[in-house]
């Protein structure tokens, strides 16, 4: 192993423990074992992120936090466990091709299609139950959504014969018609953390397009197009950091596994999904993390597959309980650790009222693994 030179004094205490408070000298390799982090008796405050010394694990803590527990004599960190889906509250109105935005515990679903046709119904989720609130002005389906449960956009959509051309803004109590897109479309998606800052990208006019437009609270402005013309894509994030995933892309009507990242200026292709799909759902608030789930793919028309993005690649994680497509998600405020799936068609093309909640638990672990 050789001599380890870390400017630490040879302060080896009874039982082989090392006192790291004296930051001078050289420690012989014979005094350090591979599991020595379990036997540190004190950590000098100068050692960066390890300067927090506590007698018990801190609460609350954030993912990635590191501290020294003086009671356990261990260096500890907060790390994530394995995510899973669990049953959430049932919607009052089953629907597909709905608009949705918000987080797992503060979500909004609006409009969409039910057995009677396009609906104006709007429901709000508080983490346990859905409540009917003020209706939208125009009943549509297959449009794009952005914002939160109290500040949202309903962006265009399908009337049953073509694109509507309408855009509505939600202020937490009422819907108001606002300025239309420059290019009216449906079957696209949007990103934005509020009703006053968003982008709308992809969709059909009915010709598939890669158009990208930005909303500043008063007007829509055309920005750089997507790399590929895409419809039935799903994504989210902010107006300056977003992802677009899957959908239909050329040639023909081929389901795609492509992912594109938006940096506020340009779209760039990044890591592909493992499973090609369209009409799926998405959760994510940036272009460096995200979660895709459910959707329609060639092998199994309705899927339960869920994938998590780490900024580079997609990893398959635990599946939904119910396969579905044309469902709602938590596209702009949710994360890849906390997400919501709502309504949509199941594998028998029956509209669902059920919602499911995705959670990745976190817990304190010793770095030594004990």
C-beta separation of 295 from 279 below 8 A: yes
From-to residues of CATH 2.120.10.80 in the chain: 85-359
Q: Which pLDDT value is given to residue 64?
A: 67
Distance CA 144, CA 154 (A): 6
**How far is the C-alpha of 218 from the C-alpha of 199, rounded, in Å?**
13
Contact 189, 201 (CB under 8 A): yes
Phi, psi of 106 (to 5 degrees): -150, 85
Enumerate the H helices of 8-51 as residue ranges.
Answer: none
d(CA 265, CA 223): 8
pLDDT at 80: 62
Q: What is the CA radius of gyration of the chain?
A: 25
Q: Name the CA dihedral angle for 224, 226, 229, 232, rounded to a multiple of 10 degrees.
A: -120
Please determine, looking at this structure, whether the domain spanning 85-359 carries the CATH number 2.120.10.80.
Answer: yes
- Collapsing DSSP to helix, strand or coil, 14 comes out as helix
| pLDDT in single tens digits along all 370 residues of the chain | 454 444 444 555 555 555 555 545 555 555 555 544 555 555 555 444 445 788 887 765 666 678 788 888 888 876 667 899 999 999 999 999 999 999 999 999 999 999 999 999 999 999 999 999 999 999 999 999 999 999 999 999 999 999 999 999 999 999 999 999 999 999 999 999 999 999 999 999 999 999 999 999 999 999 999 999 999 999 999 999 999 999 998 776 788 999 999 999 999 999 999 999 999 999 999 999 999 999 998 877 799 999 999 999 999 999 999 999 999 999 999 999 999 999 999 999 999 999 999 999 876 667 765 4
Q: What are phi and psi of 240, to 5 degrees?
A: -120, 0
**CA dist., res. 285 & res. 334, Å (int):** 6
The pLDDT score that the predictor gives to residue 193 is 94
Token pair in block for residue 69: 């527990």
pLDDT at 221: 98
Contact in structure between 228 and 250 (CB atoms under 8 Å): yes
Q: What is the pLDDT of residue 19?
A: 57
């Amino acid at each position: 192993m050789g001599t380890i030179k870390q400017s630490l004094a040879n302060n080896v205490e009874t039982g082989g423990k090392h006192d790291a408070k004296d930051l001078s000298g050289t420690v012989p390799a014979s005094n350090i074992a591979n599991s020595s982090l379990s036997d540190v008796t004190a950590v000098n405050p100068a050692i960066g992120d390890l300067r927090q010394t506590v007698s018990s694990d801190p609460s609350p803590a954030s993912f990635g936090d590191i501290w020294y527990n003086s009671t356990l004599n261990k260096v500890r960190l907060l790390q994530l466990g394995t995510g899973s889906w669990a049953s959430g509250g049932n919607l009052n109105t089953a629907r597909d091709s709905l608009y949705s935005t918000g987080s797992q515990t503060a979500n909004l679903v609006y409009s969409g299609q039910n057995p009677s046709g396009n609906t104006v119904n709007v429901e709000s989720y508080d983490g346990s139950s859905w409540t009917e609130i003020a209706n939208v002005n125009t009943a549509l389906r297959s449009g794009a959504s952005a914002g939160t449960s109290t500040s949202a956009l309903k962006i265009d959509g399908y009337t049953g014969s073509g694109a509507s051309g309408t855009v509505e803004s939600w202020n937490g109590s009422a819907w108001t018609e606002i300025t239309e897109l420059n290019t009216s479309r449906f079957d696209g998606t949007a990103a934005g953390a509020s009703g006053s800052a968003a982008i709308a990208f992809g969709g059909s006019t009915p010709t598939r397009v890669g158009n990208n437009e930005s909303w500043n609270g008063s007007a829509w402005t055309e920005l750089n197009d997507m790399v590929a013309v895409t419809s039935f894509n799903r994504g989210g994030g902010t107006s300056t950091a977003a992802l677009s995933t899957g959908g239909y892309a050329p040639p023909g009507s081929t389901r795609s596994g492509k992912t594109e990242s938006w940096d506020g200026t340009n779209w760039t292709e990044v890591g592909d999904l493992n499973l090609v799909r369209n009409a799926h759902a998405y959760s994510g608030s940036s272009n460096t993390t995200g979660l895709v789930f459910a959707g329609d793919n060639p092998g199994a028309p309705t899927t339960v597959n869920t994938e998590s993005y780490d900024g580079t690649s997609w990893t398959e994680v635990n599946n939904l309980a119910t396969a579905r497509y044309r469902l709602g998600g938590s596209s702009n405020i949710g994360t890849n650790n906390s997400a919501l799936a709502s309504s949509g068609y199941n594998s028998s093309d029956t509209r669902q009222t059920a919602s499911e909640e995705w959670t990745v638990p976190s817990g304190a672990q010793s770095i030594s693994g004990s």
